[in-house]
Amino acid sequence: MSGEKRFIGFDLGAESGRCVVAALVDGKIALDEVHRFTTHNLRNETGFHWDVQAIFDEIVEGLRKARNTFGPSFNAIGIDTWGVDYVLVDKDGHVLGTPYHYRDDRTDGMMERAFRIVAKEKMYGRSGTQFAQINTVFQLMAEMRNSPDFLNAADRMLLMPDFLNFMLTGQKKSEFTIASTTGLTDPKVRDWDWELIREFGFPEKLFAEIVEPGTRLGAILPSIVDRTGLDPDIPVVASAGHDTASAVASVPAEGINWAFLSSGTWSLMGIEVQVPIPSMEAMKFNFTNEGGVNRTTRFLKNIIGLWPVQECRREWASEGKDYSYRQLVDMASVDKSAGAWVDLSDVRFLKPGGMPGKIQASLGETCQVSNDDPGFIIRVIMESLAFSYRTTIEEIERVTGRRIEKLYAVGGGVQNELLMQSTADAIGKPVYAGPTEGAIVGNIGVLAVDAGAVPDTREWRRVVANSFEPKLYRPANAAYYAENEKRYRAILRER
């Protein structure tokens, strides 16, 4: 493999986004972050929203900075983001309304309403999607109840990366990995489940043609060329639009006896399979079947992740105690164990605000020791996450019959050494942590395959292994989690 290829990748998370220029040469990839930005949101009298115009302006600024630093020519542009949220656009491409943030409370009670229309078992058997009130299907139900005029006037519902791709190219397409987060796709045929869509009464015109990751959408629009100075023939590729799908494509693993953990605001933990598993046992454990690259399926569980830590930090900063993440981890590392845990699937932890108090309240409700020391609270969250990972690995092995031998962790959370070591201890298996920018690396991998720079994802994973040295965490205190597992499970039952 020789000859340099250069790509622009965008990875947008719930807190921030980044524009990265990636150079692929001689079997290795080098990343240069040219622009980091807030993924802008806003609150008003109608709820919690995304400021999608501000976000798109950041995309354009990233392209402009890439051009200023590296010149006008690149092999491709690709975008990945979080799942489930969408933008309604009319035939002229105008945004209708203000797109909602998945943490808005408009979806409260929507799951129960949905199950009265389509039985829970039927929904899961068809879509294989885990049940969470943030899912697009439940957001659309809220939209249909609260803003039916927008749905009727809309030409398309575009999920976040699809919308940003549309703004760059004018093409209204829906990439499958991101579409698979909606709860409205058929994972076996990798298309919309039109029967479900009709049963819920959603306008069929909303659902754009689904394309596979690696599909070229077209060149950037002349208006983007004018704003950025980029060459007009640079293709925009529908990468693995869901950030977790991109992250999994970056995992430097071979064989099948491994699991992945994409660690950030959310934790996504699972395995890669060739055939979806929409079984009743999988539904019982709330696993989801989402699209992956090369027509694979990501069989995974969505776990709350580092969101409670982020919210605690924000709360303490509002009180004048502006701790860095490094400081919080250091404080949490002073004590060797918390000896107390919470059920992070409790819906109260999903919503913003008052997170330290919510942790303490949960500990009090389950008759556990509690105090307001930040180090203790962060330690409780870390150990609770580790226990969640332990349970998830056990459930994967039970449902699939596959013996998991190692865990590959990617994403920003791998920088949290306390979390990584706690994870290795909890699951009793080695954890290989890195690359940190897992989503962007996998995103670029899809572009590289499309450009012919590498033949397939398997070879891309070798490129990743050659380019980034993962940090290995071996179990050092597995006995702590084994000895306390019954106590932890009792807490889950008490809630």
d(C-alpha 208, C-alpha 206), whole Å = 6
d(C-alpha 411, C-alpha 311), whole Å = 19
d(C-alpha 229, C-alpha 226), whole Å = 6
Q: What is the DSSP letter of 354?
A: -
Q: Is 246 helix (H, G, I), strand (E, B) or coil?
A: helix
Can you list the positions of beta strands (E) in 393-454? 406-410, 431-433
CB 392 within 8 A of CB 404: no
Query: What is the Cα Rg of the chain in Å?
Result: 22
d(C-alpha 238, C-alpha 246), whole Å = 11
Which amino acid is it at 24?
A: L
d(C-alpha 165, C-alpha 239), whole Å = 10
d(C-alpha 215, C-alpha 162), whole Å = 12
For helices 374-400 and 355-365, give the axis angle rounded to 10 degrees. 70
Sign, CA dihedral 429-432-437-442, equals negative
CB 419 within 8 A of CB 388: no
- Provide φ and ψ at 135, rounded to 5°: -55, 150
d(C-alpha 357, C-alpha 237), whole Å = 44
| Catalytic, out of 243, 343, 425, 450 | 243
What DSSP line would sit under 287-309, residue for residue? -EEEE-GGG-EEEEEEE-TTHHH
Which amino acid is it at 136?
A: T
d(C-alpha 157, C-alpha 170), whole Å = 14
- Provide φ and ψ at 153, rounded to 5°: -80, -20
Please compute, for residue 295, the number of CA atoms within 13 A of its CA located in the half-sphere on the CB side: 5
d(C-alpha 489, C-alpha 253), whole Å = 32
Count the Cβ atoms, other than its own, within 10 Å of residue 25: 14
- Provide φ and ψ at 72, rounded to 5°: -85, -10
**Is 57 marked active-site?**
no
Q: Which helix (H) or strand (E) holds 111?
A: helix 110-117
CA nearest neighbour of 15 among 100, 101, 87:
101
CB 74 within 8 A of CB 101: no
For residue 218, list its beta bridge partners.
Answer: 236
For helices 52-70 and 160-169, give the axis angle rounded to 10 degrees. 60
Q: Please identify every residue annotated as catalytic.
A: 243
